[in-house]
Amino acid sequence: MTVNFAHTIATKELLQEVFLGINAQSCPIDFNFHMHTVHSDGRLQPHALIEQAITFGLKGLAITDHHSISGFQAAQAWLEDFRWRNPGVSTPHLWSGAEINASLLDVEVHILAYAFNIEHSSIKPYIQRRIVTGADYEATNVIAAIHAAGGIAVLAHPARYRKSHFDLIPAAAELGIDGAEAFYAYNNPSPWKPSVRETEQVQILANEYGLYATCGTDTHGLTILQRL
């Protein structure tokens, strides 16, 4: 599938179209939907992350700082200024993003929120730089809040939790989650490469439950091509 980025805008609909075409080769050179900056627990400044994205020729990305959009906002401002100063230079699409802690089947999981309206009241409790508590912490309410803000909800690294992804993905699907992070490097190999067994298992589950299979490096270090 070919997406014409030259004549589209960075909307939820575009991201849905992109997610339909994600495969094992999509990350980290074409797309990367899981990265952290100094605005949560990463080491990259937002502008440095975007500079790398431009250098490597990414088509699209999301910054998913924990419970924060300030890194995304700083990156967006820098990117807009770069485009103004460098007309004609190819730049990636940047979607809003955040990584949100939630309770699912009585274990803590992380839910990635994408392409949401950062001003919407439903998302506000989840972007205050802290983990929410009470009913807001339940996965069903996190997913509902992301949807209310016009966004897409994805279960991050499904095979990293205390409960099996064979249990968590069906449970998340029942609550209305949109996708699962299928292409993920659990052992942090260099160069980055999705873990074969877990990727295959998550892909099968995503297909069974009608979910997007997404990808991301979960960058916390100084290069967007690796996790650490």
Please give the sequence-ordered ranges of beta strands (E in DSSP) within the chain, or none if there are none.
31-32, 60-62, 93-95, 97-104, 107-114, 152-155, 179-183, 212-215
What residue ranges define each of the domains in the chain, with the CATH number in brackets? 5-215 (3.20.20.140)
Structure tokens at 207: 């297909």
Mean pLDDT in the chain? Answer: 95
Q: Summarize the confidence of residues 60-89 as an average pLDDT.
A: 97
123 has pLDDT over 80:
yes
d(CA 140, CA 31): 28
Q: Which residues are within 8 A (CB) of 131 and not within 5 positions of it... i.e. 6 or more apart? A: 67, 101, 137
**pLDDT tens-digit map of 138-184:** 999 999 999 999 999 999 999 999 999 999 999 999 999 999 999 99
Q: Summarize the confidence of residues 125-145 as an average pLDDT.
A: 98
Q: Strand pairing of 60-62 and 93-95? A: parallel
Q: Which residue shows structure tokens 């950062």? A: 118
0.85 surpassed by pTM: yes
